[in-house]
Structure formats: structure tokens, C-alpha cells
Chain A
Amino acid sequence: MFTLDRVSKRFQGAAALDGITLAFESGRTSVLIGPSGCGKSTLLRLLIGLLLPDEGTLTFDGRPLAVASMRGLRHRMGYVIQQGGLFPHLTARDNITLMARHLGWRQEQIEPRLEVLAALTHFPADGLGRYPNELSGGQNQRVALMRALMLDPEVLLLDEPLGALDPMIRYELQEDLKQIFAALGKTVILVTHDLAEAAFLGHTIILMREGRILQIGRLAEMMDAPTEPFVEQFIRAQRNHFGP
């Protein structure tokens, strides 16, 4: 779906991405993971076109991403961020249907789609009339997910979607996300710093550090055959939270 060829991105001279070459598989869930500042969020922001690469080429569905075609392409991608990015002046319903209404969808198209999405994300129907500040953090993320899915995009991009939630809600949403990804069979690219979450949700894990990719594969492969000592350290550091 997405392919990157020697893509680099610099912020004030410092390389955030350093010659990344990578292809994301269609219909699979890929998880970008790594320590803070490794470039995983920058990579995701390049994919949705909020940033442009300094060097290298980035293609979507075989065509290079360009400023001119970006807006249309974004309708084929859904994007969810950690804070949800919901507009506080719009109700949950208006947030979700904003783009569809802008594109001139009729009410008869919008309503069934909303019902499908609310059922899919286990969102209560009476919550649709509420504003984001009247909903819990977990519900906000469900609304953000529905907004991202409204136009039935081919790709779902999620930037630490569960990062700001408390552990119980996070656990519940992880379960729901896994079911949703499985049900939809879309290309999903998810950024997280939590290895357990990555292993639980991802078909493929992409471990990054300092703007480079260290290893691509499943968690078991990384544990069995780490390509670098850092891969082993990273895995061990995350495991240590659970004790011996």
C-alpha cells in the first residue's frame, strides 16, 4: 500500500528519519515501535502528508504522494491521534460526519453508516449528541476511530491512540481494536511505545531507533534472533516491568 524508498526527514538539521526504505503490506496491521524520538510518529505524519520528506520517494497505491493530490488521498486514509483530535465545538455525531457532510453525503447515507460504526466500536447511541468534553477519554477515542472510519478508508493510521488512557480502559480498547481490525481487514499502521500492545495488535512489528529501522518481524523472531544488541535491550526493558 505504502512504499518508502530512502526517505529522510530533518528538523533543524537533526535527522528524524534517516534513509528509510520500507513497504507496508495491504490488509495487515503493522506496528511502529521504538523509544521516544526514534521517528515513528514522524513516519506516520509523512504517510498522511502532514510532513513532506526532504529526500527519497514515498508512494501510496503505486503513485507518489504530492501536495496537489494529497487532499483526495486523505479521504482514503483514516487518522487517529493520542489526544483524539476531536473538535470541541462539534458533537460526537458532527465530528464523525463532518467530512461526509462536506462531501455532500445525504442523511440516508450518513445514518446507516453511523449505526454500523457505533456497533463496531461499541459506542452508545445516546453518546452521539454529546460534545467531546462531555465524554470519557475512552469514548473520545472511540469517536475518533469512527471519524477515521466514516468514509470507509483503505488505510487506518493511528498515532498512540491509547497512549493517554488509564490501564483498564486501555486494556478494554485493545481488545476492541483487535476485533475491529480483524473485522475490517484494512491496512492498519499503528504507532505505540508499548511492546505488549504491539505484539497483541500487530501482524508485523517495525522496531525503530534514531530515525532508522532496526528490525522487522514478529515479537518471537525479535526475541529469538535480534539483529542488534539494542533490540534485545528494548525487549528486556519492557519485560522488566512485569518483574522477574
Chain B
Amino acid sequence: MNGRRAFRVVGPVLVVTLLVAALFAGCDRSGGQVLIGSKKFTESVILGEVLAGLVSDAGVPVTHRRALGGTRILFNALASGEIHAYVEYSGTLTHEILAGSRPADEAALRDRLAASGIRLAGSIGFQNNYALGMPEARMAELGISSISDLVDHPELRFRFGNEFMDRVDGWPGLQAFYGLPQQDVRGVEHELAYRGLAAGDADLTELYTTDAEILHYGLRTLDDDRGYFTQYDAVLLYRIELERDTPEAVAALKRGLGLIDPARMIAMNAAVKIEGRAEAEIAAELLRERLDIDNEVSTEGRLGRLLRYTLEHALLVGLSLSAAVLVAVPLGILAAYRRQLGQILLAVVGILQTIPALALLVFMIPFLGIGAGPALMALFLYSLLPIVRNTHAGITGIPIHLRESAEALGLPAGARLRRIELPLALPTLLAGIKTAAVINVGAATLGALVGAGGYGQPILAGIRLDDTALILEGAVPAALFALGAQWLFERVEQWVVPRGIRGQVKP
């Protein structure tokens, strides 16, 4: 009884405190900092570490927002000032980002970027071109050496990274250009495509010419005999206002131009992907050798890392769930009282549930930037349905004689809701929150795609690096976290649900 009363008072205070904390956390923490971005593949992360190391050496505070996502996410983040610099590939800029009105030459490209407040500073020193790759033995067996040879082998199974499948300069363009007849063509996570090749489940994938896997998996690139693939120079992009605000950072970034040759890039990729070394360590090694920069690499221990992921994950789940409860419970009550409006409400939150998480995250970025914002919003939206539906079901499921008894006592509508209907709906309502929490813990791992951190970070990195131990470092705690959340809600249920209606989901 006292516990329940205490919860009524403390509960809302706690929730509001969390929300305020989130607002502050969501505020720009960058004040005066240079933010470097990277895409979610190893080479980009290494380059991000290199840029961060250069800026740091100049004494400018810098943060590297690692492995944020794909091209679209990074470029939009740069265009909106969410990050200040990253390494892009020239072919991606002309063929993908500015494809609508393709710039004729490099000068035109520079002008176009400058119009968006972005400076193209120049090449890092290597190209990372697209190529098609097959296991060497299979190529010999089929007598394939160039892309044109593929026309005679329509039965081959192609597995491409999702980005390559969709890009205009990827599979669609290539297929049309060479007239390729293959039907069994599917998009998969790029790292999984390599494993498919190794296991014999696939015949061909696209490669980047600096990929460490070419050697590791015994692959060979097919000759682009009709010259389809564009040149992809790794180029440094940064926000023009950096030249005004922190010119020393710009000078530092420009030390990266021409710094890395193709052989060095392949070696660095291999060091991370095959030897399993940390990107930051590899980048620091490069800077020490080539520029005599001695940056301290802070290597976080496994326990410290786990603690950080747990904290980030708990924050994502806790905040989004609290906000969802605050919104969904009143919506559920409204839906129960206004039957027609209720049908519409339930349909809307149901539709929200069907939007794929990745699409929702990317859609949110222009409004909420990168980081925890879009992840929180997506998790919030996903949590609505179970809570709204169960609140609605809990209230509409109250037997008519109990509703009438409350009315006949002379309780006003507000008191009936507070003293009778909500407490009677509580077991069902809590079951809804519990469902939302468990879904949320799983869905929050996707937040790592937009830089929100959490257990998704080691999972994504593990997939990227083909490192099962790293995947488990995220997956196991995530599963334990979900179980913990379930246990916690069962305790809460014991605590707040009166003995008279405990153990029954419907009153």
C-alpha cells in the first residue's frame, strides 16, 4: 500500500527527470569541437581515426563519430553540419549524391559542393574502385577472366552489398552496360557476401579494390574490359566554415592529403579485419610513421566498453519507453472512451509498427540529426502500439457491472478513471509495457547504425569484421538485458498490482 503510494509520487518525477536529462544530452555536445564522421565499413572508420588523430595533434578538441551508416547518412550529416569532415569517394559524389545533375568535371563538382557549404580538399592518395570478384579457383574452372565472360554463365549466383544493389552506378547500371543475364542476384550485408563465397553458397560479389578480403578469401577481380566502373578517389570533405572557425583544424586535416597509398590502405584494412587490431591503433601507427605524430591511443578495456554500451542501451530503452508510456497511456484511455477515434488511433500506431526500422531511422536524420535522437524517436514510435492497445483492451475489458457500480456510487468521471478503471486495467497495461520494453531492447541495437551507441555497436562491428566474439559481446548482454527488463517488470507487477487482481491479465 505504502509502496504503491510511493510509486505514484516517485514514478512521474523520475520520468520527467529522465526526459529533461535526455533533452540536455540531446543538445549539441560539440561546442567548439570538430566532429569527424565515418561510414560503417572498416576503411572509412580507419580514415576517420586518421583525420581525428591529425586534428587532435593540432590541439583542437575532436570527436570521431564512428561507423554512422551509409553514404546518404554521412553526406546529409555533413550538409547539415552534424559532422564537420569525413572521407568520401569521388565516384560516389558524382554518381550517387549529385546524380540528379551530374557535374561535368572536378571543377564543377567543387562548385556544387561549395554551394552546400562543403569543401572538397583533395585526394587522400588512393583509389577504392568497385570491381567484381570471384574465388580464383572457380574463375579458372569456368574460364572467366573479364566481366564480358559472365554473359556466357547465366546460372551464376551473385551476392551484392545492399548499397551496390541499389546504387545507379552499381548493379542496375552494370547489368545494363554489359547485358548480364544472371537471375539469382540478391542484396546482402557486404561482409556476409564474402562468407557466402567462401562457403560456396555464392559465386560472385562486388569488391572494393582496397579490400583486405581479396587476399584472405583467395579472390580475384574480374577485368572491367569495357571500362564501366568509375574512378573512386578517396577525397577529404569538410565544412567551409571550419576555415573561419578553426583554421588550425583545416590545416591539420590537409596533412592527410596524399598521405595514404593504395598498398598501405590494403595493409591497414587487413590489419583490422584479419589480424583483429583496433582501427585507432592502426591509424596511430600510420601517423607515427609518416608524420611523426605521437597520439596516445586510449584503449578501453572490455569491461569499460561493456559498461558504456550498457549505459547507452539503458538510456535509449529507458527514455524512449518512458516517453512512450506518457503518451500511449492517455492515447489508450482516449481510444477506450471514444470508440470511433479509438479505431483510427489503433490503426495509426499499427501502421507505425510496420515501417522498417532502418527506413524510419534514415527518415528521422534530417529532423533529428545523427546520434541518439532518431533512435529514441524510432524506439518511442515502436513502443506505442503494445501500450496503446493494452491500455485500450484493459479499460474496455472491465465488466459492465463494475463500471455501473462506480457510477452508482456517485464517483465523478475523473475519479472513476483514477480509482477504478486504471487500477483494474493495470495488469493488462503493464503486460503491454513489458512487451514494448522487450521489443525495445532488441530494436535499440539498430540504433548503432545512426551513431546512437548501445549493444548494436559491437554487433555491427562484429559483422563488419567477421568477428563472432565481438558479435557476442553485444548479443549476449542484449539478451540478458531483455531478460532483466522482463524480470524487472514482473517485480513491478508484484509491487503495484493489488493482491485481489494479481495473476490475471484481464480484470
Contact = CB atoms under 8 A, between A and B. Distances in A.
**Which of B405, B409, B411, B419 neighbours the largest number of chain A CB atoms within 10 Å of its CB?**
B409
B401 A81 contact: yes
Contact of A88 (B404, B409, B501): B501
Given A87-B424, A89-B500, A133-B500, A81 B415 contact: no
Interface in B482-507: 497-501, 507
11 contacts: A71-B410, A72-B410, A85-B404, A85-B408, A87-B402, A88-B507, A89-B424, A99-B411, A102-B415, A102-B419, A132-B500
Interface string A183-219: 0000000000000000000000000000000000000
Interface string B411-444: 1100100011001101000000000000000000
B360 interface: no
Contacts of B407: 50, 74
B498 A89 contact: yes
Interface of A: 48-50, 71-75, 77, 79, 81, 83, 85-91, 98-99, 102, 131-134, 147
B424 A98 contact: no
Nearest to B500: A131
Given A74-B409, A79-B408, A98-B409, A85 B501 contact: no
Nearest to A50: B404
Given A88-B501, A131-B500, A132-B500, A102 B401 contact: no
Interface in B170-206: none
B97 interface: no
A23 B129 CA distance: 97
B144 interface: no
A51 to B, nearest CB: 10
B364 interface: no
B406 interface: yes
A2 B289 CA distance: 101
Which 10 residue pairs spanning A and B have beta carbons closest together? A131-B500, A85-B405, A74-B410, A79-B408, A89-B498, A89-B423, A88-B500, A89-B501, A75-B410, A99-B409
Interface string B375-401: 000000000000000000000000001
Contacts of A75: 410
A83 B402 CA distance: 9
Contacts of B408: 48-50, 74, 77, 79, 85
B334 to A, nearest CB: 22
B425 to A, nearest CB: 10
A87 B406 contact: yes
A81 B405 contact: yes
Contact of A131 (B406, B411, B412, B499): B499
B422 to A, nearest CB: 10
Interface string B160-176: 00000000000000000
A87 B415 CA distance: 14
Nearest to B426: A89
A88 B424 CA distance: 8
Contacts of B415: 102
Interface string B67-83: 00000000000000000
A94 to B, nearest CB: 9
B391 to A, nearest CB: 16
B501 A99 contact: no
A42 B319 CA distance: 50
A73 B420 CA distance: 21
Contacts of A131: 498-500
Given A79-B408, A81-B405, 10 more contacts: A49-B408, A77-B408, A79-B409, A83-B401, A85-B402, A85-B405, A86-B405, A88-B402, A89-B426, A102-B415
B405 A90 contact: no
A49 B410 CA distance: 10
* Residue of A77, A79, A89, A134 contacting most chain B CB atoms (<10 Å): A89
Contacts of B499: 131
Nearest to B406: A87
Contacts of A89: 423-424, 426, 497-498, 500-501, 507
A50 B411 CA distance: 13
A136 B415 CA distance: 28
Interface in B74-94: none
B25 to A, nearest CB: 38
A87 B426 CA distance: 13
Contacts of A73: 410
B401 to A, nearest CB: 5
A204 to B, nearest CB: 23
A79 B498 CA distance: 25
Nearest to A85: B405
Contacts of A72: 410
A85 B499 CA distance: 18
B2 to A, nearest CB: 14
A87 B405 contact: yes
Q: Which of B407, B412, B426 has the most CB of A within 10 A?
A: B407
A86 B408 CA distance: 12
A201 B403 CA distance: 29
A83 B404 CA distance: 12
B411 to A, nearest CB: 6
Contacts of B405: 79, 81, 85-87
Nearest to B427: A89
Nearest to B498: A89
A113 to B, nearest CB: 16
